[in-house]
Structure 1
Amino acid sequence: MEKIAAELDINPNRLMALMASETGGTFNPAIANKSTGATGLIQIMPSTATKLGTTVSALRSMSAVQQLDYVKKYYQLSPGKKFRSLKDLYLYTFFPIAMNHSSNPNYVFQSSTISAAKLAGLHRKLARGKSYITMGDFNYYISGMVNQNVPVEFRNQFA
């Protein structure tokens, strides 16, 4: 894990925190989202798995160590991208097109393939009771995740 993080120039603690969140703390590489089909350590979507040269079914059958090769491939899809914080890393993993709007707290997560309401329905925790998710909601979620799970003296590693 540390070798892959170093090759990607990603803080390994951030990558572990992201995988912990995406797997509900289990680090189970076979974990799947029943609604979207997203699978594994970073919840790779079926269409993304295809881009990576695999399937979510194949990902589910891999060990965590084997799946790390696809985690690496995922982040290599965007060469030169810098993940300077947990927010950057998580944002790229969750909704890459939002990276260009990370400083706008009012930005609403949506795209030509998924409406704001549908995305909010799939990610109720992020939407916080609304029918859409804003960058402000995303920031709140990331801050809460860090504050809840990281001792105070280590939080600067996730900022």
Structure 2
Amino acid sequence: MVNEEEFALDATSREALEEAIQINESEMARLKAALDKRRARDEHLKRLAAMWTDSQRHALDHTATIPDDFAKRQRQRRTSTAWLVRREAYLVLKRVQRPLNRTELLKELRKAGVEVKGTDPLALITKIMWNASEFISTGNGYWLAEDDTSRPDKFY
């Protein structure tokens, strides 16, 4: 049997225990609030991930394709750097739906795996895009020289 005298506390000890209990209770309340915030953030992130996945799926459903008559030249060299740059630039511009300057275009081409060799890749991009009838220079970058209905008016 437990002897009550062994557990008898003086006033100071009792106050210290009550204070410790209050501290523990306030800490539990703080942790519960933090957990609720974490759960809310988790739900928010899950909704964002679902929206992003849906938008990516939607974007993949509308992937740009290259027209059969794209970049027709008298001599077809589909392995040349110029043809690869024109082809990927067309796909990139269709995807981003805005003009890109040569630096942005080079970055996107590298992401797509097109290696632009030379001592000055930006100058090569400029020459290829400037000489290609499939593209126009808008002042803000290069855009597709297709019919007027495909151009975003806000960039002109």
TM-score by length of 1: 0.27
Kindly name which structure, 1 or 2, has the bigger radius of gyration based on alpha carbons.
2
Structure with the larger helix share: 2
